[in-house]
Structure 1
């Protein structure tokens, strides 16, 4: 019988020196483990180096097979197919080849990934099963399928001290809510075992705690284990403590052990039959942006809730609760799990990751992975045409030109519209047939090719990527019609990633001609668009990648600003269709549309210069339902400016845009600062990029504040608090930067006025005939 499922994990097993692929699959009737027949690792070597490689393998008693199967590189060099029987043999072969300057192509593709991609299997799979109850199937026969799984999940969170001694582990799901706690000598015997929302289980030792945790995960049997920084912290700590306790963390299916390893500064986790999903990674993959990805901040922004402990020194607060009020600690621990679950529900990131896997074959728990996604989708198609991929450049490759950014015309404007190209880079790929194989084929038949940049020629008929984009585009349009936001977002991110992949030195298809033919074509399109608009009597004041900002002024030949935007879009689209048909004989998939109308718009200068800035502006955006003040790149949306600065900028700009007087407002803000009425709004926050001890030559303010705080912690016998990647809250005092917790000097109000208020005011006040200094002269004399 034929059954369907969705791949949760994939890997390889070795049996008698041979490799097979293991897939754990979620089905309607529970998890199933599929084992393939024996699989060989595959790579390629230039035919000119084949004999050298074979001689090298023979000399080292390394069994390989080499065959000529008609494959070529994209530079039309013949290659031979090389196969090895095991992981061990392939690793050894790669080392030998590197040591002897022999290039192996596609040798870094994992066996399980190749096994699936060459069968065009992405997430969903069909397989032959003897019956519905079979949890293990050997020599499995599989093929692509369409299947949407209903996956079960739990979230976990641990609490521990500064030495990673475990206090508690919380588990939260729709069916199981429990906190496991290690007993402390101070804990009373009659503490509650049950709270209104979760159970509490006491463990005599940390080893018992871990044993309970293993038991709970296996009893709940979730498809997904979620958490916040769960791979880098929770799973890493649990694995470390399990090793110290001399037990195996067997929380995978079929009692398989969690594997945790460090690689290039990252913690890699592998778990058979389950997926580990980190909420931070998931949201970043979905392109969410936050000032801070701390759970407290993200939960407040997405679900309107916060963590239960708000102390500046959370570690000390947690330790205090553990000793003195373990029920409160358990509640805090469990609440963190609940917040993760609610963020997952609100953002639908599990749905997104499943859909991404369906489109690309990427594992649900894998962050990023743009290059891997491209290879999964593109490489098997390329192999059918007897081409192989290249190799990743050793030097990371040459940087390709970035997106087009026009020099802005600074000023304060009435009536500005924004015209935006829909998915510009994907539409360029689709229109101009930009494609790795198309580049190879274009060189063969230049008479049937479209010229790119840096000498590139792209075949009009032989290509894959434009058709892949075309298919994704249609799927996204369908997702929009069905209001399927996760699917629409997954497709958008995938389409937009293709340019970055082709320009990435980490991609084996890297070629400067590919990326440049996208970005430089974008430059040409944006410049041509601006010229056409100005020929119609409008002023283009700024352009950025795919957006063109047009000042309407008194030109109302096409009606209202919104009507003007729509008519301009129609005319530009028509011009492109005519131009591309005449010059290249190709259909046009470029589409510009009216995006935004600003009734007031401000484009600042670069600070200390008269030159217009880039990627920084503010405007009063008008829609049919609301008028909204929008900031891009200015202090109001930057995480390293104080709350005072952000509020001041917002209120100052709003008053100027709405024609209100500002002198009294500015004076009142200065007065509040001087009198200490807004001290709570004067806190900066900046992240440590590396450990404090690594800052030697340069000591930015947040580092100085952190160093001062750590000295105080040392004096008071407290553990160190600030580590790499942590944000440091700090204020500027008369004695320099200090954390609010350990400030021992008055706030330096002059600093905040000079560095936070004045720059914002002076960026816009001259445009309405005012200066900051003239407004506050009297104020400074009164409160100086």
Structure 2
């Protein structure tokens, strides 16, 4: 064995008890790395898992463990819980012993119950967290060369600067029956492009490995994965579906699925989310990664995303494609192989186009979460905050330790003044909630220390006080903001986006009851301070002689005189921003003796701008408006919260609303110009010109069987279709496409031409065209002197 230092990026993490043949004891941590030297298996033996309890409960804890024949090592630590009492650490030689002890402590009667802190943190995670290891790592130890990888025993690990090796990624996709019986598996990437298919060999231009049965398919799949040896396996719903199905079939058939490096076995645990462990590799799901990167699609199906991102369609396009897949497996295996392979290709191209692996990498480098761990804002916060808290002498609280029952309010939303405006500028606070947290030192530790010394703290809301000096989040936010600006300056869009998401999630985590650091005094001190800032900003703008027509969380909409041109409006916007920023600097310094990190910016000039009323009322709406922006001479309509921005309205409604507003925003607009547009749409609708634009798309919010009393139209359409086609299956969460016919809602099937439906055009006029037109007329009636609409009976 030799000693050397290697740099790598962590792909997978495991922990297990040392076996009886090992020279080690306790827990062994196993980390697989990707490196410039190839795969590295890192073993850290002789570890102990830990949680904390109040020191005053030490004797009782020892007594309870003796009664259960459990062993723990108790060690004094310079740490206390948020209540101020000293804690003691309880160390265990196995994870099982820790879980058993925690169960014993928490199952006692109230008088004998032991309070456990941080008992839910896996040691393989804690080990990295406490060393601030986030993806990149230096490792040294006893080095041996194994078949296909380097092994480092008795390893020591240290955080490395952001390091990214050249990852090998392969896309995987399976096809199976409704019961999960496997038909085929596609693998594309890193020099492999093939489909494993059960069936008799057929001539094909595709690379198909023909398999005798499912066991043969699983065996060949393992061989190919070991041969290609990818670092990352990607796919679409690949953890919840593809690998879960593979795992269930392997268990049912008595096959060990050795898809990991070093012939490690696939492990899947299902709970609130499916946790997958594949030693030496990570599995990254496209849907989770898109959502975490804040991409928005009306459907995250591969068919829809590939169409939106790549402009390509799947070979089988129906959302309910199972029956066609079964037919192809029985009658046309070559077509099924082409379909299976194309799904893999589409996934690879989406990942490449949107740089999803790059996003996952920088997110890991920022938070320390596993590469494949998406969502997980609470876990990311814990990873970042807990080591800092420990160094301040505190253990993390448990859920509900604050003992408070009130709810914190949401973001500020101002009543709007509806109507049509010539010039509206939007002033936007840059990262308002993070900047509030930084400015007012809002922080879990800061709250505890501030309450202990309120005379030297910054007052929050709901009786909260925050220490001016003892805190972590303000410094963390400052560091993230600086890193984001550097990422922008050096053209690193993925890093910039990842930092933005993390910064914006900090408030959400503190406002989430699922976070151990949740305290309504924290979240209230953020949101109510936001209310105060928005209301004061409005007051200052109006004192300067301008009209504020709307405000929403961090954005303020200001109406400027009609006669001003774009250049003058933008200049006023910048001047207002500078004035407001200076006033906040002065005000906060005088009132609290603190530095303001609040920064409002001129963001957008809308010319014109339309704010509607609430449907059926005369009051202004919220979070709904339309504005026109001019970008380098190109005019564009921006819809927020309107029918055009919603996926559950038809294409007919989208086009109708767009044409009405395009006309409304013309310089020479007159109300008479709307009448022929409306009449034209009605005439063309009855003539069948829009038949291919009348499809509604609604997601099933629950399982079909759960719809009992209120049966929405999409469910009516499905049940009507199933009565004639009992083989048709659709599940909760899937999109239903339907149309209104003279016999009610009917399922829209892509293979059926639109002309085969007997559309009820009156429903579309009532539900799609009329509400949009009335919204415009109602709001314009309320615009004093700008346009006075008298004639409304156009339908």
TM bucket by the smaller chain? over 0.9
Contact 2:418 2:619 in 1 (8 A): yes
CA positional deviation for 1:507: 1.1
CA distance in 1, matches of 2:295, 2:354: 10
CA positional deviation for 1:161: 2.2
Question: Structure 1 residue 301 and structure 2 residue 320: aligned?
Answer: no
Higher mean displacement: 673-682 or 551-560: 551-560
Equivalent residue for 1:584? 592
Equivalent residue for 1:46? 54
CA distance in 2, matches of 1:319, 1:511: 52
CA distance in 2, matches of 1:769, 1:244: 72
From 153, 160, 172, the counterpart of 1:156: 172
Equivalent residue for 2:210? 202
Question: Equivalent residue of 1:25, what SS?
Answer: strand
CA positional deviation for 1:529: 0.5
From 765, 771, 775, the counterpart of 2:777: 765
CA distance in 2, matches of 1:30, 1:554: 66
From 13, 16, 27, the counterpart of 1:10: 13
CA positional deviation for 1:67: 2.7
Question: Equivalent residue of 2:766, what SS?
Answer: helix
Once the two structures are superposed, the pairs formed by residues 351-500 of structure 1 within 5 Å of their partners are: 351-393=358-400, 399-500=407-508
Contact 2:306 2:346 in 1 (8 A): yes
CA distance in 2, matches of 1:633, 1:312: 26
Question: Structure 1 residue 712 and structure 2 residue 715: aligned?
Answer: no
Equivalent residue for 1:781? none
Q: Is the alpha carbon distance of 1:358 and 1:398 closer, same or farther for their aligned partners in structure 2, counting shifts above 3 Å?
A: farther
CA positional deviation for 1:771: 7.0
CA distance in 1, matches of 2:10, 2:87: 33
From 346, 350, 355, the counterpart of 1:339: 346
CA distance in 2, matches of 1:735, 1:267: 43
Higher mean displacement: 383-392 or 394-403: 394-403
CA distance in 1, matches of 2:278, 2:434: 36
CA positional deviation for 1:102: 2.4
From 657, 676, 693, the counterpart of 1:664: 676
Equivalent residue for 2:159? 144
From 228, 245, 262, the counterpart of 2:236: 228
From 261, 274, 277, the counterpart of 1:270: 277
Question: Structure 1 residue 36 and structure 2 residue 44: aligned?
Answer: yes
Higher mean displacement: 291-300 or 397-406: 397-406
Contact 1:29 1:132 in 2 (8 A): no
CA positional deviation for 1:775: 2.2
Once the two structures are superposed, the pairs formed by residues 253-264 of structure 1 within 5 Å of their partners are: 253-264=261-272
Equivalent residue for 2:102? 94
Q: Is the alpha carbon distance of 1:337 and 1:190 closer, same or farther for their aligned partners in structure 2, counting shifts above 3 Å?
A: closer
Question: Equivalent residue of 1:126, what SS?
Answer: strand
> Where do 4+ consecutive residues of structure 1 move more than 4 Å?
129-134, 394-398, 554-559, 742-745, 768-773
Equivalent residue for 1:780? none
Equivalent residue for 1:183? 199
CA distance in 2, matches of 1:707, 1:399: 41
Question: Equivalent residue of 1:122, what SS?
Answer: coil
From 198, 214, 219, the counterpart of 1:211: 219
Once the two structures are superposed, the pairs formed by residues 451-600 of structure 1 within 5 Å of their partners are: 451-553=459-561, 560-600=568-608
- The one-character-per-residue Cα deviations of 1:154-183 (angstroms, maximum 9, x if unpaired) are 001111222222221110004110011111
CA distance in 1, matches of 2:522, 2:384: 18
- The one-character-per-residue Cα deviations of 1:343-374 (angstroms, maximum 9, x if unpaired) are 10111111111111111101110111111111
- The one-character-per-residue Cα deviations of 1:723-770 (angstroms, maximum 9, x if unpaired) are 111111111222222202399972221111001110001000341544
Contact 1:415 1:561 in 2 (8 A): yes
Q: TM-score normalised to the size of structure 1?
A: 0.94
Q: Is the alpha carbon distance of 1:165 and 1:51 closer, same or farther for their aligned partners in structure 2, counting shifts above 3 Å?
A: same
CA positional deviation for 1:37: 2.5
From 34, 43, 54, the counterpart of 1:26: 34
Contact 2:215 2:253 in 1 (8 A): yes
Question: Equivalent residue of 2:254, what SS?
Answer: coil
- The one-character-per-residue Cα deviations of 1:399-448 (angstroms, maximum 9, x if unpaired) are 42111111111111110000001111111111111111111221233232
Contact 1:761 1:772 in 2 (8 A): no
CA distance in 2, matches of 1:398, 1:30: 54
Contact 1:762 1:771 in 2 (8 A): no
From 117, 124, 133, the counterpart of 2:129: 117
From 282, 286, 304, the counterpart of 1:279: 286
Q: Is the alpha carbon distance of 1:772 and 1:136 closer, same or farther for their aligned partners in structure 2, counting shifts above 3 Å?
A: farther
Higher mean displacement: 239-248 or 212-221: 239-248
Contact 2:143 2:152 in 1 (8 A): no
Equivalent residue for 1:673? 685
Once the two structures are superposed, the pairs formed by residues 74-93 of structure 1 within 5 Å of their partners are: 74-93=82-101
Once the two structures are superposed, the pairs formed by residues 602-621 of structure 1 within 5 Å of their partners are: 602-621=610-629
CA positional deviation for 1:81: 1.4
Question: Structure 1 residue 172 and structure 2 residue 188: aligned?
Answer: yes
CA distance in 2, matches of 1:221, 1:366: 21
CA distance in 2, matches of 1:376, 1:500: 16
CA positional deviation for 1:317: 2.2
Q: Is the alpha carbon distance of 1:94 and 1:112 closer, same or farther for their aligned partners in structure 2, counting shifts above 3 Å?
A: same
CA positional deviation for 1:641: 0.8
Question: Structure 1 residue 249 and structure 2 residue 261: aligned?
Answer: no
CA distance in 2, matches of 1:297, 1:383: 46
CA positional deviation for 1:621: 1.4
CA positional deviation for 1:721: 1.7
- The one-character-per-residue Cα deviations of 1:473-514 (angstroms, maximum 9, x if unpaired) are 110000001111100001011111111111111111111111
Q: Is the alpha carbon distance of 1:30 and 1:625 closer, same or farther for their aligned partners in structure 2, counting shifts above 3 Å?
A: farther
Question: Equivalent residue of 1:141, what SS?
Answer: strand
CA positional deviation for 1:555: 8.3
Alignment coverage as a number of residue pairs:
763
- The one-character-per-residue Cα deviations of 1:641-687 (angstroms, maximum 9, x if unpaired) are 11111111111111111144221111111112222221221111111
Question: Equivalent residue of 2:416, what SS?
Answer: coil
CA distance in 2, matches of 1:409, 1:157: 52
CA positional deviation for 1:698: 2.1
Equivalent residue for 1:291? 298
Contact 1:641 1:684 in 2 (8 A): yes
Contact 2:26 2:45 in 1 (8 A): no
Contact 1:397 1:510 in 2 (8 A): no
CA distance in 1, matches of 2:758, 2:333: 38
CA positional deviation for 1:70: 2.4
CA distance in 1, matches of 2:275, 2:404: 23
- The one-character-per-residue Cα deviations of 1:14-73 (angstroms, maximum 9, x if unpaired) are 114721211111110111111112111111112232322221111111111223222111
Question: Equivalent residue of 2:615, what SS?
Answer: coil
Q: TM-score normalised to the size of structure 2?
A: 0.93
From 744, 748, 758, the counterpart of 1:746: 758
CA positional deviation for 1:328: 2.0
Equivalent residue for 1:726? 734
Contact 1:427 1:589 in 2 (8 A): yes
**What runs of 5+ residues in structure 1 fail to find an aligned partner?**
777-784
**What runs of 5+ residues in structure 2 fail to find an aligned partner?**
20-24, 781-786
Question: Equivalent residue of 1:171, what SS?
Answer: strand
